[in-house]
Amino acid sequence: MTDARWIEIETDLENALGHFEKSIALFEMGGFDQAGLRGYQAEMALMHALQSAHTSLENGFLRILELLGEERPIGRNWHADLIRRIAKDLPGSRPAILSPILAEAADETRRFRHRATHNYDAFESVDLEPTIRAADILVKKLRIEITQFKAAIDPD
């Protein structure tokens, strides 16, 4: 699509992917069981990277809706509603922005952000494996699906 707003959308999505890639690397580095400041640093770095990744992803999705002239979801559950909406075809309007697999991965990172935001003190690295798998799926497939979506709405 020739619309210049794709510059900001793509920047948000690339930022998200960069944070997800670094989250995976931080998870693989470990160190969460270290005592004192080292363990705390490892936990906080990973949580913040995942939270930043999902927030950038969400910002990109909101910009896509704005580009399409769609209202953003509202209400208490708008974060979850956003992912559900972008995973749906809107007949006569647009195809789904994300496949069900990517939508589930995005929803997992959303759920992690919610847990981390509301319960920092319950960090358990073993509980992060589904979130890290979701981050890996997003890293591997998001660019492809967004490129396909752009081609579907503006084949030029």
What CATH number has the domain bearing residue 45? 1.20.120.580
Looking at residue 121, its pLDDT comes to 67
Which domain does 75 fall in, by range?
6-153
Tokens 């400041």, located at residue: 37
| Predicted TM-score of the model (pTM) | 0.92
Predicted confidence (pLDDT) per residue in 107-152, tens digit = 999 999 888 776 766 667 768 899 999 999 999 999 999 999 999 9
Bridge partners of residue 90, in order along the sequence = 94
Dist. CA 105–CA 107, nearest whole Å: 5
Count of structural domains, the chain:
1
Geometric angle at alpha carbon 13, from 54 and 117, rounded to 5°: 10
Q: Is residue 1 part of a domain?
A: no
pLDDT at 156 over 70: no
Which among 26, 72, 58, 69 is positioned nearest to 45, based on CA atoms? 26
Predicted confidence (pLDDT) per residue in 31-78, tens digit = 989 999 999 999 999 999 999 999 999 999 999 999 999 999 999 999
Dist. CA 96–CA 99, nearest whole Å: 7
